[in-house]
Amino acid sequence: MKRLWDISPPLQPGIPVWPGDQAYREIRTATIGPGNPVNVSAIAISTHTGAHVDAPYHFAEDGMTAGNMGLAPYLGPARVIDLRGVKRVEPDHLAAALADPACPPRILLRTYERAPVGRWDPDFPVPSPAAIEAIARHGGILVGIDTPSLDPQSCATLDAHLAAHRHGLAILEGLVLDEVAAGDYELIALPLKLVNLDASPVRAVLRER
């Protein structure tokens, strides 16, 4: 059996969320006991909690919603590029990987030594719009990162998101790549069919190729 790597942070109370977003909450709506045979729960969650995909509707009023996106970008060969310590990913950081004709069209950027799954990092690393353009020129169909966003927390223009949108690149954020070596894998990170929404949490997994 091929090895699997779970690259999703744990969804539990206290998981950091974008400042001002809905905090993750769990509500027990039924409990096993006399006259009730089951436990049942509800959750309150931002669509951008943990590992998640951004739909174009997140940053473009006429963009496609999460439940209407095609699934193909989120399932298939992917390359993890190790960029630990890089605060702003530029095309030069990607040049060697993208020059490889065998490089898959799904690019995952590891920037943390250890992803801060228990705290919010306001100065998280990001790719530049030029880096997104380089991935698109390579023939990329998805860019993923182990941070909450392609754009800095202080950025109101969403330049990297819009660069991805121009080229039809799917966006996958909030990954945990701590235990994953640079190299090629099969990515499985399917969004939920949230028909009207701007993003979707995913259970992101890498499988040995």
Selecting among 58, 93, 161, 165, the annotated active-site residue is 58
Residue 77's DSSP bridge partners are 186
Contacts of 8 (CB under 8 A, 6+ apart): 50, 51, 175, 176, 202, 203, 204, 205
Report how far apart, in Å, the C-alpha atoms of 166 and of each of 34, 49, 60, 110 are. 57, 24, 11, 23
Q: Is 138 a catalytic residue?
A: no
Please, are residues 188 and 157 in contact by the beta-carbon 8 Å criterion? Answer: no
Residue 20 tokens read as 């001002």
How many CA atoms lie less than 13 Å away from 6 in the CB half-sphere?
A: 7
Q: Which residues are catalytic?
A: 58
